[in-house]
């Protein structure tokens, strides 16, 4: 069982399955939402994601049909969700455990912060691959 939580502890979750490959997203909306150079994310099946209390979350529709869910109290980004999908896109900074997934790629490098240098050998895609 893999566990995660927000900064204040109001939101906790468990994952009763595997976490997908790790993607580092450099898009402008991720950078703004996370207040960081990029966000590291991975897919988790809805059926494997067990949230303690959905009332503790707020969401923001950052692009049409895609909502970003975060703790209403402390602001930790927990996951994003596209309409009509059966998985969510977990924000890996909220994990308390090692997901034991592999890093796969960087995406939206076309929108990368100019003050951040990617320094590894992962594939880099200008937009979503
Ligand atoms: Zn919180
Ligand atoms: Zn992004």
Please write the tens of the pLDDT for every residue from 64-111: 999 999 999 999 999 999 999 999 999 999 999 999 999 999 999 999
**Partners of residue 107 on adjacent β-strands:** 25
What is the average pLDDT across 39-55? 96
Closest listed ligand to the CA of 58: 1
Distance CA 102, CA 122 (A): 11
Alpha-carbon distances of 40 from 16, 36, 55, rounded to whole Å: 20, 10, 25
- Separation of CA 78 and ligand 2 centre (Å): 14
Q: Do residues 17 and 45 touch, judged by C-beta distance below 8 A? A: yes
Instruction: Enumerate the domain spans of the chain.
Output: 2-111
Q: Which numbered ligand comes closest to the C-alpha of 91?
A: 2
Reduce the DSSP state of residue 38 to 3 states and report it.
Answer: coil
CATH classification of 2-111, choosing from 3.40.50.300, 3.40.462.20, 3.40.80.10, 3.90.1590.10?
A: 3.90.1590.10
Q: Which ligand is nearest to the CA of 57?
A: 1
Cα of 76 vs centre of ligand 1, distance in Å, is 6
Q: What is the mean pLDDT of residues 1-10?
A: 97
Is the pLDDT at 60 greater than 80? The verdict is yes
């Amino acid at each position: 069982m893999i566990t995660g939580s927000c900064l204040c502890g109001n939101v906790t979750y468990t994952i009763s399955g595997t976490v997908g490959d790790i993607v580092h997203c450099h898009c402008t909306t991720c950078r703004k939402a996370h207040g960081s150079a990029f966000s590291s994310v991975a897919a988790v099946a809805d059926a494997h994601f067990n949230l303690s209390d959905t009332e503790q979350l707020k969401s923001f529709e950052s692009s049409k049909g895609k909502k970003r869910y975060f703790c209403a109290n402390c602001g930790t980004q927990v996951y994003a969700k596209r309409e009509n999908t059966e998985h969510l896109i977990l924000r890996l900074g909220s994990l308390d455990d090692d997901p034991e997934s592999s890093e796969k790629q960087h995406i939206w490098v076309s929108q990368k912060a100019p003050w951040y240098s990617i320094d590894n050998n992962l594939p880099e895609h200008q937009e979503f691959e």
